[in-house]
Chain A
Amino acid sequence: MSQYVFQQLINGLSLGSLYALVAIGFSMIYGIVRLINFAHGDLVMIGAFSTLGFVAMGVPWPLILVFVLMIGALAGMTIEATIFRPMRGAQQVTGFIATLAVSIVIQNVGLMTLSGQPRNFSFPAFMRQRVQLGSVSASVTDLSIIGLTLLLIALLLVVVYRTRLGTAMRATADNLMAARLMGIAVNRTILFAFAIGSGLAAVAGLMWGGKFGQIDPLLGFAPGLKAFIACVIGGVGSIGGAMLGGYLLGLAEVLFVGLLPPAFSGYRDVFVFTMLIIILLLKPSGLFVRHVEERA
């Protein structure tokens, strides 16, 4: 394999890992409360800036990872309990508008307190090296992003499919009324879904900063939208679908830029969204889900 193709592949996989992490949470939240959470991307921003803060305080990186996960989880739970819960039962569009409003609040509070100037963000020196793998090489950052994401996804699958609370969460997403009749405290399982999803998004923020080297308070917009697209590709509401959609989207984006003449690289987002609209039309339930849940 040539270095060029390998590099594109690694690049696509690491970008796809970030999309997948954000998309999984997005999908879990949709699955359980049928809410397109526009503010989900802003958890990525919160995660990135928290990381920067902990680095400044001299906290060791492994601990930063844990702290950022917790901060994301707390932020997600706070938003759910204060804003979304009281609106439960309102029309779907009302909830969507509320998440837009929350997103605007987070971004602008970010602008007010952190200023709009982009800040440099860097992983420790050893992360920025490259490793030789036979005839090809890859950056440690990209490889760590890919590895850490796989680890987190594996943990998530254990929690969701092998624990009592995880099963209760899936039961709540499946049939809220029946879950209540079985004595499941659904507000708690919903809170749990927000905690996991938001925690993952915040960790994605940590990695996002490391991959792109710069962060600003508005950075959450792109991952939020891309997460939605990843979910649409894979089928909204399914964890596996969101994961696959994220990887596919990351690879597709990198290949689009890598394979077409440089003059087209500016059209990356145009390409992505055109793809979204086409998929929504042809297969609104996602490429990997057979039954149609909802469209009109």
Chain B
Amino acid sequence: MLEVRDLHVTRGATEVLKGISLEVLEGETAALIGANGAGKSTTLLTLSGLLRAKSGTVRFEGASGSIDLTKLAAERIVGEGLVQCPEGRQIFHSLSVEENLSMGGYLRRDRASLGSSIEEVHALFPILKERAKAAGGTLSGGEQMMLAIGRALLARPRLLLLDEPSLGLAPQMIERIFDVIETLKKRGTTILLVEQNAAMALDIADRAYVLENGRITLSGSGRELADNDRVRQAYLGIAS
């Protein structure tokens, strides 16, 4: 589904990604873990076309076949089916919940089926239906996260990028969000998950990568990495 080859990205004068390669197969949940500043968000922003790669390729099985995303405008990338739910939720505070969701379906031409998609999202997050007319900014942190995920789902992602969905949420809410990710996974949505909460991410992931200082230093199945001594020490806080 997604195949990143030797991606280099610079921001300002510093090279943040120093040639990373990774892949996500159809139907899989992949996790990208790493410390603050390792380049996780940079990776996702580059995939979404908000940052430009200096070199490297991003192959994606999009709506119009296999394409390279590195030269594509951000709105085209969404159109191809690579949709990101960004770090910090980034919902539209002044727009109503309803309008936030409709912006998720902004590029969809199938007005008719959009209605049933909204119902699906409402079924997943009933609170979004209750508060449909409320301004996004009045929602609690957890509700905003649900709105952000719901909004991304309405773009009908072939590949859903989730950037730090647990960030700043209370423990029960984190559980809720991971339950939802689990549900999406069961329904066959392909997911690339970026997390600092490595334990939960590795638990859910079929495939995982460790990003350190702009390089992929380890990769394997979620299980393998969770058992890896280095990962246990550095990211899971377990002494070996």
Contact = CB atoms under 8 A, between A and B. Distances in A.
Contact of A183 (B78, B93, B94): B78
A167 B79 CA distance: 19
A183 B106 contact: yes
Interface string B48-81: 1110000000000000000000000111011100
Interface string B148-190: 0001000100000000000000000000000000000000000
B33 interface: no
A181 interface: yes
Given A164-B106, A175-B90, A181-B86, 17 more contacts: A164-B102, A167-B95, A167-B103, A168-B103, A171-B95, A177-B86, A178-B92, A181-B84, A182-B78, A182-B103, A182-B107, A183-B74, A183-B77, A183-B78, A183-B79, A183-B107, A184-B106
A55 interface: no
A181 B106 contact: no
Top 3 closest pairs, chain A to chain B, by CB: A183-B78, A178-B90, A183-B107
Interface residues of A, number: 16
Contacts of A180: 48-50, 74-75
A179 interface: yes
B121 to A, nearest CB: 14
A182 B99 contact: no
B91 interface: yes
Nearest to B102: A167
12 contacts: A168-B106, A171-B99, A171-B103, A178-B92, A179-B92, A181-B74, A181-B84, A181-B86, A181-B90, A182-B78, A182-B104, A184-B75
Contacts of B93: 174-175
A167 B99 CA distance: 7
Contacts of B91: 175, 178
Contacts of A40: none
Contacts of A66: none
Q: Which residue among A175, A181, A182 has the maximum number of chain B CB atoms within 10 Å of its CB?
A: A181
Contacts of B107: 182-183
Contacts of B103: 167-168, 171, 179, 182, 184
B92 A174 contact: yes
Q: Which residue among A168, A174, A184 has the maximum number of chain B CB atoms within 10 Å of its CB?
A: A174
A80 B4 CA distance: 36
Contacts of B74: 180-181, 183
Nearest to B85: A181
Contacts of B102: 164, 167
A174 B107 CA distance: 18
A177 B90 contact: yes
Contacts of B104: 182
A184 B84 CA distance: 13
A170 B103 CA distance: 10
A182 B151 contact: yes
Nearest to B163: A181
Contacts of A185: 73, 75
B78 A181 contact: yes
Contacts of B90: 175, 177-178, 181
A177 B102 CA distance: 17
B75 A183 contact: yes
B73 A174 contact: no
A81 to B, nearest CB: 16
A170 B49 CA distance: 22
B47 to A, nearest CB: 11
A256 B79 CA distance: 56
A162 B86 CA distance: 26
A179 B86 CA distance: 11
Interface in A100-125: none
A186 to B, nearest CB: 8
Contacts of A175: 90-93
A181 B50 contact: yes
Interface in B99-154: 99, 102-104, 106-107, 151
A27 B63 CA distance: 39
Contacts of A167: 95, 99, 102-103
Contacts of B75: 180, 183-185
Contacts of B48: 180-181
A179 B104 CA distance: 9
Nearest to A237: B94
Q: Which residue among B77, B99, B103 has the maximum number of chain A CB atoms within 10 Å of its CB?
A: B103
B83 to A, nearest CB: 8
Contacts of A178: 86, 90-92
